[in-house]
Structure 1
Amino acid sequence: MNCIAMIPARYAASRFPGKLMQDLAGKTVILRTYEATVKTQLFSEVYVVTDSEIIFNEITSNGGKCIMSKEEHESGSDRIAEAVANVPCDVVVNVQGDEPFTEKASLAKLLLVFEDDHDHNIDLASLMVEITDEDEIINPNTVKVIVNEDNFALYFSRSPIPYPRAKDDNTRYFKHKGVYAFRKQAILDFAVLPMKMLEATEKIECIRYLEYNRRIKMVETTVQGVEIDTPEDLEKARRLWK
């Protein structure tokens, strides 16, 4: 099975513009993420996919591989769909550019879904991690997911789901880590499906699959990491890196 990784990278992020070019222990966030993904040794190729010459030059000048987007895109998966069309692979993993703590164990569990799926019943898999901090549960920057008994996603939201109307010590909350693994044809299909109301409202791209009756296999990991959405997240990442 030929697996590649692609890292979509926009310079003009809405919540924290230029965050991928911020310094993290002597290197930019995007370069840290690229190097961490390469270091896993799980992929035949790793590419950054961007609309920014600044990011393109940052990756290529440090010996990395980068693809410039030809069109404007609403989501990272749309950006990857354009880039992967002419790249030979069976599975493409979408690693978020703002996750410099990307590590091997979680990605290996994600790829195992496809290695065990001999009948090709699963087109898309993603990661989730249990969260217990109340501030994180209610934080709209943290995307939550609920699943069925077979760990297929039922819904994703920026709101707390399930809503804690009855306080119950058995209630569990899971954060969706923005790492997706697609069969190549699945991500090509994704790009031609028009965005619908729920995705547009929540601004969560994987909801598009659910709205079109596609299934997403969720894989639980215990690795939290740090997703850099705000300047406060960057400071947290800097402390953690030390």
Structure 2
Amino acid sequence: MRAVAVIPARYQSSRLPGKALALIAGRPMVCHVAERTRRARGLGQVIVATDDVRIRDAVQPTGVEVAMTRADHPTGTDRLAEVAARLDADVVVNVQGDLPFVEPAMVERLVARLDADPSLPMATLAAYIRDEAEWRSPHVVKVVAGLDGRALYFSRSPIPCDRDGARPADEPFGLRHIGMYAYRRDVLLRLASLRPSPLERREQLEQLRALENGIAIGIVEWQQAEPLVEVDTQADLERARAMVDGGGR
């Protein structure tokens, strides 16, 4: 099974413009993501997909391949699919360009999940939420899974609801979705060809398009030692910088 990792990276961002090139420890964030992804075992190729020459020029010195894409993609999935359409790959791993501390093992575990279950179309990561404010935040995407380890639903709302306060104090509030995916290549191309679905539009979550169209998503639980930083705002960026300055990464 040949696996390829693609890192979609765009310059424009509604909440943090230019974040792909934001400096962390003196280097662009996208370069941190690319180099850490490249350490994952079993990948046939790592590609940064972008429509911006500034990102291309920043990544090229790392030796990671860059694929220039169209500028009119409405979502990162569409950008990913444009690159996947011309790849010789069985599995395509989508590594978000705003995960500066992505662990190579995350990529490896996603690929391993699809390798272990040929019936599974795609897989993603999730980590336990132990902070109530994080669980309640609409900026944190939550996921609930069935007993078979497949996603039942993703939401910005705090799920599962603790209606009667019955959650034991030592149990997590729920699962936080980590925006990395492994797709079988044909599934990715099919997803990109589908129209945005009703729940996808309502929650503004692309992964709901898969569930609404009957495409199962396997959940891989990531037992992280510390919270994973996803850089979406200036505050997230400052937190990432502080972690590096403090020796945490």
TM-score normalized with structure 2 length: 0.92
Q: Which residue in the other structure is 1:100 paired with?
A: 100
Q: Which residue in the other structure is 2:87 paired with?
A: 87
Render the CA deviation track for 1:198-226: whole Å, top value 9, x for unaligned: 11121111110011111101110112421
Matched, 1:229 2:232: yes
Structure 1: 4+ residue segments shifted above 6 A = none
Q: Offset of 1:106 from its aligned partner? A: 2.4
The DSSP-based 3-state class of the residue aligned with 1:136 is: helix
The DSSP-based 3-state class of the residue aligned with 2:195 is: coil
Q: Which residue in the other structure is 1:130 paired with?
A: 128
The DSSP-based 3-state class of the residue aligned with 1:182 is: strand
Give 1:54-203 correspondences, 5 Å limit. 54-117=54-117, 120-170=118-168, 172-203=173-204
- Name the CA distance, whole Å, in 2 between partners of 1:42 and 1:229: 29
- Name the CA distance, whole Å, in 2 between partners of 1:144 and 1:51: 30
Gaps of 5+ in 2: none
Letter matched to residue 31 of structure 1: C
How large is the RMSD of aligned CA atoms in angstroms?
1.3
- Residue 128 of structure 1 contacts residue 174 of structure 1 at CA under 8 Å; is this kept in 2? yes
Letter matched to residue 191 of structure 2: F
Q: Which of 170-179 and 137-146 deviates more?
A: 170-179
Q: Which residue in the other structure is 2:220 paired with?
A: 219
Render the CA deviation track for 1:107-136: whole Å, top value 9, x for unaligned: 22211112212xx31110000000111111
The DSSP-based 3-state class of the residue aligned with 2:30 is: helix
- Name the CA distance, whole Å, in 1 between partners of 2:201 and 2:184: 24
- Name the CA distance, whole Å, in 2 between partners of 1:34 and 1:204: 24
- Residue 41 of structure 2 contacts residue 108 of structure 2 at CA under 8 Å; is this kept in 1? no
Q: Which of 220-229 and 106-115 deviates more?
A: 106-115
Matched, 1:239 2:242: yes
- Name the CA distance, whole Å, in 2 between partners of 1:230 and 1:145: 22
Letter matched to residue 88 of structure 2: P
Q: Offset of 1:163 from its aligned partner? A: 2.1
- Name the CA distance, whole Å, in 1 between partners of 2:205 and 2:115: 27
Q: Which residue in the other structure is 1:45 paired with?
A: 45
Q: Offset of 1:71 from its aligned partner? A: 4.8
Gaps of 5+ in 1: none
- Name the CA distance, whole Å, in 1 between partners of 2:178 and 2:62: 27
- Residue 91 of structure 1 contacts residue 184 of structure 1 at CA under 8 Å; is this kept in 2? yes
The DSSP-based 3-state class of the residue aligned with 1:142 is: coil
- Residue 38 of structure 2 contacts residue 104 of structure 2 at CA under 8 Å; is this kept in 1? no
Matched, 1:23 2:23: yes
- Name the CA distance, whole Å, in 2 between partners of 1:5 and 1:44: 8
Q: Offset of 1:12 from its aligned partner? A: 0.7
- Name the CA distance, whole Å, in 2 between partners of 1:42 and 1:27: 26
- Name the CA distance, whole Å, in 1 between partners of 2:154 and 2:15: 20
Identity of counterpart residues, as a percentage? 39
- Name the CA distance, whole Å, in 1 between partners of 2:141 and 2:70: 29
- Residue 42 of structure 1 contacts residue 104 of structure 1 at CA under 8 Å; is this kept in 2? no
TM-score normalized with structure 1 length: 0.95
- Residue 37 of structure 2 contacts residue 107 of structure 2 at CA under 8 Å; is this kept in 1? no
- Residue 70 of structure 2 contacts residue 79 of structure 2 at CA under 8 Å; is this kept in 1? no
Letter matched to residue 6 of structure 2: M
The count of aligned residue pairs is: 240
Q: Offset of 1:168 from its aligned partner? A: 2.0
